Amino acid sequence: MKILVTGGAGFIGGNFLHLMTKKYPQDEYVCLDSLTYAGNMETLEDLLGLPNFRFVKGDIRDRDFVDALFERERFDIVINFAAESHVDRSIENPAIFLETNVLGVQVLMDACRKWSVGRYHQVSTDEVYGDLPLERKDLLFHEDNPLKASSPYSASKASADLLVQAYHRTFGLNVTISRCSNNYGPYQFPEKLIPLMIQKARRGERLPVYGDGRNVRDWLHVADHCKAIDLVVRHGRSGEVYNVGGHNERSNLEVVRTILSALGREESQIAFVRDRPGHDRRYAICADKIEKELGWKPSHTFEEGIRETIDWNLSHSEWLRHVESGEYLRWIERYRKLEKEGNR
């Protein structure tokens, strides 16, 4: 099969490509990414020589470009990771989130319809459900919960989910949706909580924690998430939504304390800062559906996964340094030069 992975130079998409190009060497993977600030070609460097991998630079909002790509490649499956995904950035500039996360999805699905793509999969988030009260540990997000977005980011993802379901019902497009809890692991852009805190802790800097730090998230290792997506894409029922959770609820303060302890640092580095607007209190996923229908279960405990993630961040200081300095943005020019020389 020929599979298009959009947003594949990002955190989750990059991990997906690392895993799947090796698991399915008989399939061909095309990565489409516009290489915005969070798209990093260095994440894909080890894949560039593989016979079943190709990279294409482009924007899912560009209808003419996307249509020409689909006409040329004739994809069997499209998996959409491409998204603006940082809540704080969505508060500062909501427009780009709507353009990419909603209109970009429409462009992709229109191309899927036109060029008879076998399945379109939308990678979504548990944030579309809103939040849960801290004191009600019995409450979990289920696939049939109403959508109740809190931020421009989650509203854009909820809008995309509704659009995907509408294309299934109205046009008969073969679609699936997965909604995941907070991911962590290798190649995560260092503006996110876990890699940010690891870097600040190791440097002896202050660790900014929003509000009282009691906001709870269900933490899912990115490798477990990627394996779930693979199952849903290949075996999930058309038109269905599947929740993917890690069964690892931790408050932000617990996560930060775990990182400090692992690095032998003092909790005096923690600095509580003014909470962000509309900050959701608790996310918690019920993943019974994917576990019962597709046999998926997370393989990483949080204790194992966070230790691996800390070790990865400490051992990939050059990757992180290039991200923080902006050096990774120049990687695409080196890639183009290699491509011209035929050394891919």
Active site residue 129: no
Task: Point out the catalytic residue in the list 28, 42, 59, 127.
Answer: 127
**Other beta carbons less than 10 A from residue 66's beta carbon:** 23
Task: Point out the catalytic residue in the list 29, 153, 184, 328.
Answer: 153
104 touches 164 (CB < 8 A): no
**Other beta carbons less than 10 A from residue 204's beta carbon:** 10
Angle between helices 302-315 and 193-202 (to 10 degrees): 60
**Cα–Cα distance, 96 to 51 (Å, whole number):** 34
Helices vs. strands in the chain: H and E counts, helices first: 13, 12
Cβ contacts of 19 within 8 Å, gap of 6 or more: 223, 226, 227, 230
**Radius of gyration of the chain from its Cα atoms, rounded to whole angstroms:** 20
Active site residue 267: no
Q: Which helix (H) or strand (E) holds 173?
A: none
**Assigned token pair, 107:** 């462009």
CA 221 vs CA 114, 151, 191, 228: distances in Å: 35, 24, 17, 11
Cβ contacts of 212 within 8 Å, gap of 6 or more: 253, 272
**Cα–Cα distance, 259 to 270 (Å, whole number):** 11
HSE (CB half, 13 Å, CA atoms) of 325? Answer: 10
Task: Point out the catalytic residue in the list 84, 126, 161, 218.
Answer: 126
253 touches 214 (CB < 8 A): yes
Active site residue 341: no
The number of residues in the chain equals 344
Q: Which positions are annotated as active-site residues?
A: 126-127, 153
